[in-house]
Structure 1
Amino acid sequence: MKTRETPPVPEGPDGARPFGPPFPTFGGVRPWHPGSRAALVVMGVPYDAGTTNRPGTRFGPRAVREASWTGPLARRPEFMDRETATPLPLADALADAGDVWLEHENLEQDWPHITRAAGLILEAGAVPVTLGGDHSITYPVLKAFEPTPVHYVHLDTHLDCDTIFPTGWTHGSPVARIHQDGLTRSLTLLGIRGLTNSGHDAAWIREAGAVVIPARELRRLDEARLAERLPRGPFYVSVDVDFFDPAVAPGTGTPEPGGLFFPHFQTIVSAIARRGPIVGFDVVEVSPILEGPHGKTARLAACCVLELAAAVLSRSKDAPNHIGGTHEPLRR
């Protein structure tokens, strides 16, 4: 596999490096550094110290990038919008900043680095696209959107509102953390299923006023009916790959039978885009060491990135005008 040459690691305003060393970029898109322009910017967070079961998601960002270089995903100048049959210039709109430079195996110490990296992308007027890493990284990414709370849409088999761990910095607690810190206007949880969600979790979610659509109900909803259940945007979308059935996403630490499939995901993305702009998203919990060499979980995650990126562009009245990050930064 041929890798692209990348410029020196960019430095932040205080001389500290927000992003790590050179990398193969997602789909072969151009590298990004603070001060350059793009509509969407990919950043990886290779972190899995928040896992409570099987680790390995620290290898997720690289695996998803490598999967994006295979077959029809690699180095395409444009993709076809499946709804309008018009071309979307994703290759021009996307750029890749590399992985966030982490110094510790402790999210409480590392999250300022993650928040700062996402903040640099937002300040450039771009949409941050985060590759995890375990699900605990969603919290520091959302911190970058302060003081503007967003509507949070959570695709997962789990409610992720655990408060039983003393630190709270685990992949089972991002929903609790972001709600308690007032980082969202609303919570919508999609695809919830399985026996690992406790009565305590369900009670917490009810008290938080979240909208929960379990996997069984979600399968029955078409795009229009699902859109009616969603608030008006802007949205931040977080995709845990265990949302999908283990038949198509085995490479994750806490798989659960009875999951959803990619056509369901496409319906969800279209419904969200009906209701408002997607201003940031992440795809997390890809653990390539837990599956064979086929890498189908990482490839599925790469397809999720493209589907969400296409929704960001196709929702604009004139997609090419978004290229270069010409829209106003969300936080201004």
Structure 2
Amino acid sequence: MSTQRSVSLIGAPTDIGAGARGASMGPEALRVANIGPTLQSHGVDVIDRGNLAGPANPWLPPLEGYRHLDEVVAWNQVVHEAVYAELQGGRMPILLGGDHCLGLGSISAVARHCREAGKKLRVLWLDAHADFNTSELTPSGNIHGMPVACLCGFGPKELIEIGGKVPAINPKWIRQIGIRSVDPGEKRFVHEQELEVFDMRYIDEMGMRHTMELALATLDANTHLHVSFDVDFLDPAIAPGVGTTIPGGPTYREAQLCMEMIADTGRLASLDVMELNPALDVRNQTALLAVDLIESLFGKSTLMRK
């Protein structure tokens, strides 16, 4: 069971960093899928803080390697302050995205909280993509492909400084799981920075259980566990409602095991749910699945265990 039983839902309705429109509707789709009441049914104290406000998506081409940089900065600053405020108040923030560029604001806030509280940080990045691009490496300029690089100090000054410390996190604190689409230059950069990546081939060969045992190894009572869950982590056959579908992701059972093993640690302290795009979904099934998996993070188990 999660040790932290008071949760704040924070909607961040923007697709400012994405290559397809529609992730801005993600927070509402998660609410329609009953994320609040579902968590309450597990004895969690849930407050829905509503949606944050930020600049509209101007839908312009990239400028000097970045699309919508000013707007991305504005949104991430708002997210940073909101997530940080919940942590300061002793509540667990669940950020309802929105596209994954917002992971920068969220995780930089978590890192700031951990620095001040003297805690270690472990970030699980559940995603089809490494999101470790820079303006030199990215073909598109879409900043949702850059948040991990920015958190590790590689990116435009305005973004990497949001958390008050550069870099916001050390690459060694991250475990990436489910990766199966990485640009060629990005691949080299991931290796250079020694990110720990459990890609789909690793999961195929070793299984999800072994993968998660390694990803969660050495967590202790002084570790804050942050999960950044990009819905495109899942196989598109079960989760079509994302802008960048990459076949060959975890199955329903693999994803459930992943979430249950995170829950078993009792260390989950903050969560992002990103890139849900209802415009591309089928009868909200991806949002319903996401809520089902989040429920497992809070102790719903498929087995009767003593």
- TM-score range relative to shorter protein: 0.7 to 0.9
Gaps in structure 2 of 5+ consecutive residues = 58-70, 116-120, 154-165, 301-306
Q: Equivalent residues in 2 for 1:40-59 (5 A)? A: 40-52=7-19, 54-59=20-25
Which residue does 1:202 correspond to in 2?
Answer: 187
Q: Equivalent residues in 2 for 1:46-195 (5 A)? A: 46-52=13-19, 54-68=20-34, 74=37, 78=41, 88-90=42-44, 93-105=45-57, 106-145=71-110, 146=112, 148=114, 150-164=121-135, 170-180=143-153, 181-185=166-170, 186-194=173-181
Query: How far apart in 2 are the matches of 1:226 and 1:285?
Result: 22
Which residue does 1:240 correspond to in 2?
Answer: 230
Gaps in structure 1 of 5+ consecutive residues = 1-36, 79-87, 312-332
Which residue does 2:162 correspond to in 1?
Answer: none
Aligned residues: 257
- Measure how far apart 1:61 and its partner are: 0.4
In structure 2, the CA distance between the partners of 1:55 and 1:204, relative to structure 1 (3 Å rule), is same
Query: How far apart in 2 are the matches of 1:224 and 1:201?
Result: 26
Query: How far apart in 2 are the matches of 1:182 and 1:148?
Result: 14
CA contact (8 A) 1:118 1:128 kept: yes
In structure 2, the CA distance between the partners of 1:225 and 1:66, relative to structure 1 (3 Å rule), is closer
**Aligned residue identity for 1:189:** Q
Which string of whole-angstrom CA distances, capped at 9 and with x for unpartnered residues, describes residues 51-84 of structure 1? 12x2110001001110127xxx956853xxxxxx
Which string of whole-angstrom CA distances, capped at 9 and with x for unpartnered residues, describes residues 86-138 of structure 1? xx413xx2221111122454111232211111122111101110110000001
In structure 2, the CA distance between the partners of 1:229 and 1:138, relative to structure 1 (3 Å rule), is closer
Query: How far apart in 2 are the matches of 1:206 and 1:279?
Result: 28
Could you say what secondary structure the match of 1:258 adopts?
A: coil
Query: How far apart in 2 are the matches of 1:239 and 1:179?
Result: 18
Query: How far apart in 1 are the matches of 2:93 and 2:226?
Result: 10
Which residue does 2:292 correspond to in 1?
Answer: 303
Q: Equivalent residues in 2 for 1:314-329 (5 A)? A: none
**Structure 1-normalised TM-score?**
0.70
In structure 2, the CA distance between the partners of 1:110 and 1:204, relative to structure 1 (3 Å rule), is same
Query: How far apart in 2 are the matches of 1:273 and 1:75?
Result: 16
In structure 2, the CA distance between the partners of 1:270 and 1:208, relative to structure 1 (3 Å rule), is farther
Which string of whole-angstrom CA distances, capped at 9 and with x for unpartnered residues, describes residues 225-264 of structure 1? 6313434242111111111111111111000111112321
CA contact (8 A) 2:263 2:298 kept: no
Quote the RMSD (CA, aligned, Å).
2.6
CA contact (8 A) 1:283 1:304 kept: no
CA contact (8 A) 1:115 1:144 kept: yes
